[in-house]
């Protein structure tokens, strides 16, 4: 980002931008923060981390898990920037890249699924600030969560033209998944199975689409300058 060599996609990093040292005491140790990291732009990585140019949905909430969630974390700040040379100006094409990404994401069942999963995870964190010790109540809560997860999964499968599931892939008591059921058609016999893209590859494939757009737009700019 700082050198203008490319763009960053995904989610914000953890946000740890400090250096600690451990000093021995007569009983135990004491940890002291003695330095901070800074980018060549002068911006700290503390608290905010590295923020992406294009944000992808994530189940990890940096405000809950990242450095900024710690009670005594140092604040983000800046120092004088270093002398450095930028090699490109990706910000010129960034608005177009964001627009194209958002258009694809709206039509991509896997991305919509990830966004809904992210929303659901955030809602569950906000609603469940404590855990019941009552077994029956806890079981009802877990069953409700599993039903919601199954609903999201089947929305994704319908959009992809895949058969719906009657239960979560990881919910069987015998340790098998629905695709291992002998009564279910074998791989290749179910129409459309060969087109299914694993959810965990959705980010990788979309990153490739963004890269293709980026290269194409950069080439257009070079041609326009000639």
- Per-residue pLDDT reduced to its tens digit, 26-50: 999 999 988 999 999 999 999 889 9
Number of domains making up the chain:
1
pTM for the full model?
0.74
Residue 180 lies in a domain: no
Would you say 187 and 177 are in contact if contact means Cβ atoms under 8 Å apart?
no
Residue 190 lies in a domain: no
- pLDDT higher than threshold 70 for residue 67: yes
- pLDDT higher than threshold 70 for residue 194: no
Residue 154 lies in a domain: yes
Give me the count of residues in the chain. Answer: 226
Burial grade of 72 (CB within 10 A; 0-12, 13-18, 19 or more) = exposed
Lowest mean pLDDT among 7-11, 32-36, 62-66, 121-125: 62-66
Question: What pLDDT does residue 57 have?
Answer: 86
Residue 28 lies in a domain: no
Using alpha carbons only, give the angle 166, 168, 171 rounded to the nearest 5 degrees: 115
Residue 60 lies in a domain: yes
- pLDDT higher than threshold 70 for residue 197: no
- pLDDT higher than threshold 70 for residue 174: no
Residue 27 lies in a domain: no
CB atoms within 10 A of CB 105: 19
Residue 193 lies in a domain: no
CA distances 147 to 154, 177, 215, Å, are 11, 16, 43
Place of tokens 């966004």: 115
Residue 156 lies in a domain: yes
What's the domain range around 133? 9-18+37-74+88-172+198-225
Q: How far apart are CA 69 and CA 113, in angstroms?
A: 27
């Amino acid at each position: 980002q700082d050198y203008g060599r490319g763009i960053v996609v995904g989610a914000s990093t953890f946000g740890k931008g400090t250096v600690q040292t451990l000093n021995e005491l007569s009983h135990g140790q004491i940890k002291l923060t003695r330095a901070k990291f800074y980018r060549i732009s002068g911006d700290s990585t503390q608290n905010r981390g590295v923020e992406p140019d294009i944000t992808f949905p994530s189940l990890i909430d940096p405000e809950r898990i990242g450095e900024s969630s710690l009670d005594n974390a140092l604040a983000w700040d800046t120092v004088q920037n270093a002398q450095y040379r930028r090699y490109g100006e990706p910000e010129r094409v960034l608005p177009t890249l964001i627009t194209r990404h958002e258009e694809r994401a709206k039509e991509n069942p896997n991305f919509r699924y990830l966004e809904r999963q992210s929303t659901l995870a955030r809602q569950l964190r906000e609603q469940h600030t404590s855990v019941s010790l009552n077994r029956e109540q806890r079981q009802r809560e877990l069953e409700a969560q599993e039903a919601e997860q199954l609903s999201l999964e089947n929305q994704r499968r319908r959009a992809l033209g895949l058969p719906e599931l009657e239960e979560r892939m990881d919910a069987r008591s015998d340790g098998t998944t629905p695709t291992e059921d002998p009564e279910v058609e074998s791989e290749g016999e179910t129409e459309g199975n060969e087109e299914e893209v694993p959810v965990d590859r959705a980010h990788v494939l979309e990153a490739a689409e963004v890269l293709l757009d980026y290269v194409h737009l950069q080439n257009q700019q070079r041609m326009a300058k000639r």
